């Protein structure tokens, strides 16, 4: 099975898996964050397996980039293993593209893991979440990891802006928002011009900074996940239609936002007709080197 790019309705570059297909004991740290998320979002957040993601997107004739989030050193939450993501993505190659996630604090072990994932699983990208992983992206301690990703021609995807993780918990669950100011990623983009970077989400409260970085740095893209398009600020819509029309990417942040809701709200935005297909799949196809 392979991706039928011409028949795809859209390519979602930002989806999460939160549950393993293998039974395990509930993790108390994760349960605490989930309970807070239920209060914050007004309902129990869905916990899809990788296979659930595949089935969901296949029903909609869409493809999806899927990943877990390894934040061992930050929140200490349990997570689906990268190996499970790779295994199930390999069984669903008609709809899934796997990214890996490595906590940068793993140091040399993380660098070796990245090399192995690229060599053995042809991983196309790596997901970083500076808030929950508690690191500054521009800390040179972590540059050896970026070097491996850049040498492989893979993508580094960084969460940017605020996060719902820890929201409403005492002290925000210990999650520091400062780490996801996109200006820290600007340093990475300058120091690694060959590394293709995605800034994930409208970057509230640093939206203008994200737009400036993507305009200034040829290797920086923006995915539009995590927010309903009806809440996009005017300048984000304006840049999507003009200067950044070839650098904006459809992302939902599934399961927190479904592609159904995202696409319905995107349809109501004043986006130029020639720009819509670029955002929905063509920009991602080019960035992911799918043809």
Model pLDDT, residue 40 = 67
pLDDT per position as a tens digit, 112-169: 999 999 999 989 999 999 999 999 999 999 999 999 999 999 999 999 999 988 888 8
Alpha-carbon span 36 to 86, nearest angstrom: 29
Q: Check pLDDT > 70 for residue 208.
A: yes
* 46-63: average pLDDT: 96
pLDDT band at 79 (very low <50, low <70, confident <90, very high): confident
Residue 248's DSSP bridge partners are 222
DSSP 243: T
CA dist 212 → 3, 35, 92, 216, 235 (Å): 33, 36, 37, 6, 11
Q: To the nearest whole percent, how much of the chain has pLDDT over 70?
A: 93
Mean pLDDT over all residues of the chain?
93
> What tokens does 55 get?
């089935």
Query: Do residues 88 and 80 touch, judged by C-beta distance below 8 A?
Result: no
Model pLDDT, residue 77 = 77
pTM recorded for the entire structure: 0.95
Q: Check pLDDT > 80 for residue 27.
A: no
pLDDT band at 29 (very low <50, low <70, confident <90, very high): low
Q: Check pLDDT > 70 for residue 33.
A: no
> What tokens does 37 get?
């998320």
pLDDT per position as a tens digit, 238-257: 999 999 999 999 999 999 99
Alpha-carbon span 177 to 206, nearest angstrom: 11
Model pLDDT, residue 34 = 66
Q: Domain limits of the chain? A: 11-287
Residue 72 phi/psi, 5-degree rounding, is: -55, -45
Alpha-carbon span 76 to 31, nearest angstrom: 12
pLDDT band at 42 (very low <50, low <70, confident <90, very high): low
> What tokens does 239 get?
């840049």
Least confident of 39-43, 79-83, 96-100, 154-158: 39-43
Comparing C-alpha atoms, which of 85, 39, 89 is closest to residue 102?
Answer: 85
Q: Check pLDDT > 70 for residue 24.
A: no
Least confident of 9-23, 24-38, 165-179, 246-260: 24-38
Query: Do residues 230 and 270 touch, judged by C-beta distance below 8 A?
Result: no
Helix axes 82-90, 50-59, angle to 10 degrees: 40
Alpha-carbon span 145 to 101, nearest angstrom: 11
pLDDT band at 185 (very low <50, low <70, confident <90, very high): very high
Model pLDDT, residue 36 = 66
Alpha-carbon span 234 to 227, nearest angstrom: 14
Q: Check pLDDT > 80 for residue 266.
A: yes
* 18-28: average pLDDT: 77
Model pLDDT, residue 203 = 96
Q: Whats the size of the chain, residue-wise?
A: 291
pLDDT band at 75 (very low <50, low <70, confident <90, very high): confident
What is the bridge-based pairing of β-strands 155-159 and 220-223? Answer: unpaired
The terminus-to-terminus CA distance of the chain in angstroms comes to 16
What's the CATH fold of domain 11-287?
TIM Barrel (3.20.20)
Comparing C-alpha atoms, which of 151, 221, 213, 218 is closest to residue 183?
Answer: 213
Query: Do residues 215 and 244 touch, judged by C-beta distance below 8 A?
Result: yes
């Amino acid at each position: 099975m392979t991706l039928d790019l011409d028949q795809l309705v859209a390519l979602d570059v930002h989806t999460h898996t939160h549950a393993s297909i293998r039974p395990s004991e509930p993790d108390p740290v994760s349960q605490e964050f989930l309970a807070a998320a239920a209060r914050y979002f007004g309902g129990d957040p869905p916990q899809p397996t990788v296979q659930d993601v595949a089935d969901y997107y296949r029903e909609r004739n869409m493809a999806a980039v899927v990943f877990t989030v390894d934040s061992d050193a930050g929140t200490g939450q349990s997570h689906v293993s990268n190996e499970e993501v790779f295994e199930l993505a390999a069984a669903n190659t008609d709809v899934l593209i796997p990214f890996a996630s490595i906590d940068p604090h793993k140091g040399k072990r993380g660098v070796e893991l990245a090399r192995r994932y690229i060599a053995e699983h042809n991983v196309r990208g790596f997901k970083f979440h500076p808030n929950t992983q508690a690191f500054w992206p521009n800390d040179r301690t972590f540059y050896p990891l970026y070097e491996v990703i850049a040498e492989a021609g893979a993508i580094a995807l960084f969460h940017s802006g605020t996060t719902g993780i820890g929201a409403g918990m005492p002290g925000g669950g210990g999650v520091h928002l400062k780490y996801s100011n996109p200006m820290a990623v600007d340093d990475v983009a300058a120091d690694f011009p060959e590394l293709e970077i995605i800034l994930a989400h409208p970057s509230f409260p640093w939206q203008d900074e994200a737009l400036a970085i993507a305009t200034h740095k040829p290797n920086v893209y923006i995915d539009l996940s995590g927010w309903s398009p009806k809440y996009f600020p005017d300048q984000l819509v304006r840049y999507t239609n003009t200067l950044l029309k070839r650098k904006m990417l459809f992302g939902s942040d599934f399961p927190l936002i479904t592609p159904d809701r995202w696409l319905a709200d995107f349809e109501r935005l004043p986006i130029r007709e020639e720009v819509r297909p670029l955002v929905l799949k063509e920009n991602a196809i080019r960035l992911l080197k799918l043809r």
